[in-house]
A and B are shown apart, each in its own frame.
Chain A
Amino acid sequence: MNGSYLDSYAPLLLMFLLAAGLAAVLIIASSVVGRHLKVRAKDQPYECGIRPTGDAREPYSVHFYMVAMIFILFDIEAIFLYPWAIVFKQLNMFGFVEMLLYIAILVVGYIYLWKKGALEWK
């Protein structure tokens, strides 16, 4: 058992346990201590205001999907910057050039998306 490594995550575990414990305590406490009113209005999404009509599920424009997809692609690109940032001094010029090339390739995709109007909201 490599203690020192996992021990460094003990605070994290502790925090998780505290958060879960606190949430559990709050929920249980409120259900035990609180007063319960059982009326139909309580089960509605909004207790006051306009009565809900129809289904909560509305079809969305495919454009949302496009934006989400593009976001993920560039998100994955950004992920590679983290490990690169750790060692980029060691990698020296080579590291700079390879990341430059990597990003340059993706800029091609960016220009393409821009010019095709995929980033515009119509």
Chain B
Amino acid sequence: MNIAMLVFIACSVMAIVGALALILAREPVHSALALVLVMISLAILYLLLGAAFIAAIQILVYAGAIMVLFVFVIMLLNAGEEVRTNVSRLAKWVGLPLGIFFLLEMAYSLFREYGGRAALAGGTAAPVPASTRDLSMKLFTEFVLPFELTSILILIAVLGALVLAKRES
């Protein structure tokens, strides 16, 4: 048991609790706060895995910018406490078992692939720090096509924001 392991367990628990709170909370603002918790825990997990740049982006974009958007939408809709209808039967009898099945299968696959100890230890087993320099080189040389395409993707989003949200003059 070392410190990395402790941090890993703490963050995993935080992420799971946050995700559950996100779904179960009735106040949309509470859900949003729970989401921040999930994002930050994930960022620390990325750091443990050796992905410092991804961790920084996780905080900057997700915990920062995306959260702002969520809060804006909550304010925009003037959303108060959720009114729950009865949980759909399909979700209860098909969705939930399927979700649990998926979780077990995932766990099984990881155990089979990496062996029990490594799977349990998660990222702390052998973090090979991925240097941001290597990542950048790959992104800007090998993956130049998808990189340039993301700018088109952003253009599409610009169009979407204007088409769907702008008041007609």
Contact = CB atoms under 8 A, between A and B. Distances in A.
Do A and B have CB atoms closer than 8 angstroms in the complex? Answer: yes
Interface of A: 1-2, 5-6, 9-10, 13, 57-60, 62-66, 68-73, 75-77, 79-80, 82-84, 86-87, 90-91, 94-95, 98, 101-103, 105-106, 108-109, 112-113, 116-118
Interface string B33-63: 0000000000000011010010001001100
Contacts, number: 137
Tell me if B's interface is mostly helix, strand, loop or mixed: helix
Interface residues of B, number: 53
A13 B2 CA distance: 14
Interface of B: 2-4, 7, 47-48, 50, 53, 57, 60-61, 65-66, 68-69, 72-73, 75-80, 124, 126-129, 132-133, 135-137, 139-141, 144, 147-148, 150-152, 154-155, 157-159, 161-162, 165-167, 169
Contacts of A84: 136, 140
B165 A62 contact: yes
Tell me if A's interface is mostly helix, strand, loop or mixed: helix
Given A1-B2, A5-B127, A62-B165, A77 B151 contact: yes
Given A6-B48, A83-B53, A83-B140, A106 B7 contact: no
B158 A82 contact: no
Contacts of B47: 9
Contacts of A112: 158-159, 162
B126 A73 contact: no
Contacts of A77: 151, 154
